[in-house]
Amino acid sequence: MTIIIPRLLLLLAIFASQTEARASQGLQVQLPHGGWLLGRHRTTHSGRHMRAFMGIPYALPPLGELRFRPPIPQPGWEGERLALKDAPICMQRDPFRRDMLIEGSEDCLYLNVYTPDPVEIAGDKLLPVMVWFHGGGWQCGSGISSFYGPDFLLDHNIVLVSANFRLGPLGFLSTETLDCPGNNGLKDQLQVLRWIRDNVAAFGGDPQQVTVFGESAGGASVTYHMLSPQSRGLLHRGIAQSGTYYNPWAQPAHKGVAAKRAAKLTQLVDCDAAGEDWAAKLKCLRSKPAEQIVATLYDMFLWDFDPMIPFPPVIEPQHDDAFLTELPRETSAPPHGQQLPLMLGVTSEEGLLKTAALLNLPQLLSEFKTRFEQLLPVVLNYDHHANETQQQITQHIETFYFKAGHNYNKSNHQNLTDLISDGWFVAGVDEYLQMRLQDKQQSVAPTYVYLFDHKGAASFSELFKGGHNEFYGACHAEELQYLFPIGQELFVSAVPTRQDLQLRELMLRLWVNFASSGDPNPVIGTSNLPSWLPASSYPVTYARLGTKLDLDANNDELVPPLLRMEAALLQHRVDFWRQLKAHLPAHRRSSHQHNEL
């Protein structure tokens, strides 16, 4: 032992000195408030060196009296803080998994920053910043590295920031009064953008070149930040994947709904004894365990897991910290985001998010068919209309999508999937494009539109009860596995095809090019793909990304281009929804009933 102990101490001393040496070469970063962060070294998918700073607090923990209040900026710290691992995810229930698990922590307002190793970057130029806001219906999901990691994107010269923000009732409860005006999850995102403005230069990121990108509710969040005056100047480009604030699940609930759901929550946790006194009810709610608050989410659903998002954004009463005070369709001035370059798109079978379960859970499908007229208004968010109007809408939908009747099944589902795709995603994205491209008050920045239409080795429909051995289409969230290493966790037995790998490299370059310049196209002469042309008028030109053909990997002549320019995105279907909205009775579309189709 007299020989082993000195050798062990010597090895520990050498290791400590090496750790200090590595930190002095870039793993230590000093923030403007004076405190330091110690990050860790990682490598990308291709083996490139990068730095990871994880679990950085951007706001005070929203605990106790800070629950249901806007985030308070993290004031900083003295000395060195370790930033070596992910923070807990925000407390949540995930209805898309169809389980009863409650997971996460209320103390969750943290972000991650990933940068290339400075040694691998030529020169001292600040890098473009890409900020990721995750999807999950503002009720589940996270920004942690085990899911939305930097392994693919950091093969390129960018700074990547991913963040947690409050979800479900903890993030979006609203009394529709100044007691709790709501939108705290979006205000968390706003605080992330303010933190980036103030701190990202310390990591080598350019605070004047910030691209916010997100998928589903994250995509809708991007468009909300392009609308809210609070976010003006904090982002310079946007990428909205499968979501805008015109999607029915993302629109502010019509007047009174948020307050009714808040009242129901107080009843469920025995905080309703105070009558109409919201201050007393909120005091009671702040005394309850966070798990008890989050558990109420499932009690807000009317059928299955619908309406899909019980706690969406809301219109707030006027006050200094308000994020949203006007309906998106009734803004007094054009959104400031009209001046920002935008990339916007959908997958070809978005609706598998819902129909994968319908097709594979026989009891659920039977109930849906039997009670179609009662359930469809709930599923597609038009149950706030008068019964007569609901019946008219349902009849129009049946005539358009189900001419042959309700005979859909696992092998004959396209019309059903198209209906959910259009009602939940495509029509809302199309309306946003109409608004943006038909703006007659000002010139609009370039708008790049895509349709992700690819058959890969694995499909997200598997996660939504679609099974592992059947391909139903390019499901909602399908494109994420080409931007992030999600497949390593979710699809461990899937072997990427050659087309998968080529599409991944293509999409990474498109996304990074857009974040770097506002134009997704590579430098002229460096690619044999057609140029992705911006949409300049409506109907739109768009890029179809991927292929669904089963291809012979050894015969390149059979491989179609993975980017093909086409015109009029799903025009026949979006025209139907445009006409349907136009024919709604005018008195049914008042400002108090604005959660339209």
Active site residues: 216, 350, 476
Considering only CA atoms, which of 302, 268, 274, 277 is closest in space to residue 169? Answer: 268
> Please, are residues 515 and 255 in contact by the beta-carbon 8 Å criterion?
no
Distance of CA 377 to the CA centre of its chain: 24
Considering only CA atoms, which of 319, 76, 316 is closest in space to residue 181? Answer: 316
Distance of CA 426 to the CA centre of its chain: 16
DSSP 334-391: --GGGGS-EEEEEETBTTHHHHHHHHH-HHHHHHHHHTHHHHHHHHTT-TTS-HHHHH
Question: What are the angstrom distances between the C-alpha of 558 and each of 407, 499, 547, 552?
Answer: 35, 12, 11, 7
Q: Which residues contact 78 (CB under 8 A, 6 or more apart)?
A: 34, 35
Considering only CA atoms, which of 571, 360, 569 is closest in space to residue 453? Answer: 569
Question: What are the angstrom distances between the C-alpha of 220 and each of 189, 354, 360?
Answer: 12, 19, 29
Q: How many CB atoms lie within 10 A of CB 20?
A: 12
CA angle 80, 81, 82 (to 5 degrees): 125
Considering only CA atoms, which of 340, 115, 114 is closest in space to residue 209? Answer: 340
d(C-alpha 330, C-alpha 148), whole Å: 35
Written as six digits, the tokens of 509 are 């370059």
d(C-alpha 105, C-alpha 63), whole Å: 10
What strand order describes the sheet that includes 80-82? 28-30, 36-38, 80-82
> Please, are residues 308 and 137 in contact by the beta-carbon 8 Å criterion?
yes
Instruction: Tell me whether strands 92-93 and 80-82 are parallel, antiparallel or unpaired.
Output: unpaired
Counts for the chain of helices (H) and strands (E), in that order: 16, 16
d(C-alpha 267, C-alpha 262), whole Å: 9
Q: Which residues contact 232 (CB under 8 A, 6 or more apart)?
A: 336
